[in-house]
Amino acid sequence: MTQRYQQLNMAEHSQHSGRASRANMLLEALRTLVLILVFYSFSITLTFYNKKYITLYPYPLSITVLHLCVKFLLAWLIRQVVEQLTGCHRLELCWAAYCRRVSPAGIASSLDIGLSNWSFEFVTVSLYTMTKSTAVVFILLFAIYLRLEEKRWSLVLVILLIAVGLFLFTYKSTQFHTGGFLLVLSASFVSGIRWTTAQVVTQRAELGLANPVDMIYHVQPWMVLVLLPLSVAFEGTEIATTANLFRASSATAAFGTVRILLVGAFLAFGLECSEYLLLSRTSSLTLSVSGIFKEVCTIVLAAGINDDVINPVNWAGMALCLSGIGLHCGLKAAASSADAS
């Protein structure tokens, strides 16, 4: 009887553990889904928002500098509130680590965002989205260079699919702009440096920058330092004399412009936080897979909302490009499973 009672107890305990495990998995899946939806919302909204208002206010570098300053102030404010509530001081890197470790990520981030925003003056949302999706190639190349990824022949196929797909997507496009295309492609190249260096920084436990707000707080000053001189050189005179801001016809018009710019800054802050949160709570694979579907959603919306013209050859190029990105994600999943085994 005692043995039978023990067996029943063990079976009941096992069933209870199984139910708890399934509940935890479901909760984690729901949490991940919510993070992905938040990431989608900020990313797609900011893409269309920037396209609309940078066309109306053609000062992309100055707008980016304003966004960076607002993001830094928001991160500082959140850190101060947390310090007051918890009584614990937030992380402050020493100057040596700040300059040596954080500056590459900050400089690359500023050029990535600045060039991306600049391109909206010339290209459609569809062309921007597809060209910017090639950032995965440059991320891959820099990851191999920094020994974050191993060299594999399968990666050559990935790069080939994305390169050919991009060529077909831009081939005989009625809305193609060479200068804008090169700006987005340059942003994709710099994006490779940005995310690989950011990965190195956030994964170093001794730096303690895994928290997205702390990362934003430390990175923004470097970004402003790089973009502010470029903004003054290329757009300083126009900004000072534009009727949209400093020479506005009324205070109402000037405040309307400031309001539009501040909304973009808040969206940019939300996007950056959601990217780091999704990355820290899941993995780079989840971010990549969710990014593929986001690109498709953005292009479909661009065709419907902005009347972007996409011919059959362009659609075939998009399919090839996304196949290459999907293959890369599949290879990453297989490698992760092999490592786990």
Per residue in 272-300, pLDDT (tens digit) is 888 877 766 665 555 665 666 677 777 77
Mean pLDDT over 212-225 rounds to 90
The predicted structure's pLDDT at residue 315: 79
pLDDT band at 72 (very low <50, low <70, confident <90, very high): very high
Per residue in 304-340, pLDDT (tens digit) is 776 667 778 877 877 887 787 777 767 766 766 666 6
**pLDDT higher than threshold 90 for residue 269:** yes
Highest mean pLDDT among 2-16, 47-61, 286-300: 47-61
Q: Is residue 270 part of a domain?
A: yes
Residues whose CB falls within 8 Å of the CB of residue 133, separated by 6 or more in sequence, listed in order: 162, 291, 292, 295, 321, 322, 325
Q: Is residue 31 part of a domain?
A: no
Q: Is residue 84 part of a domain?
A: yes
Distance CA 301, CA 138 (A): 26
Q: How many domains does the chain have?
A: 1
The predicted structure's pLDDT at residue 203: 73
Per residue in 90-145, pLDDT (tens digit) is 888 888 888 888 888 889 988 988 888 888 888 887 778 777 877 777 777 777 77
Q: Is residue 184 part of a domain?
A: yes
pTM of the complete model: 0.75
Distance CA 217, CA 78 (A): 10
> Domain range spanning residue 256?
58-332
Q: Is residue 271 part of a domain?
A: yes
Q: Give the closest residue to 53 by CA, choosing from 295, 324, 261, 217.
A: 261
Q: Is residue 18 part of a domain?
A: no
**pLDDT higher than threshold 90 for residue 86:** no
Distance CA 286, CA 194 (A): 19
Q: Give the closest residue to 282 by CA, choosing from 19, 53, 2, 31.
A: 31
Q: Is residue 11 part of a domain?
A: no
**Dihedral of CA 54/56/61/64: which sign?**
negative
Q: Which of 10-14, 83-87, 133-137, 218-222 has the lowest mean pLDDT?
A: 10-14
The predicted structure's pLDDT at residue 149: 65
- pLDDT cut 70: percent of the chain above it: 79
The residue ranking higher by pLDDT, 271 or 52, is 271
Q: DSSP string spanning 207-252?
A: T---SHHHHHHHHHHHHHHHHHHHHHHHHHHHHHH-TTTTT-SSHH
pLDDT, averaged across the chain = 78
Q: Is residue 33 part of a domain?
A: no
Per residue in 21-34, pLDDT (tens digit) is 677 777 776 777 78
The predicted structure's pLDDT at residue 80: 92
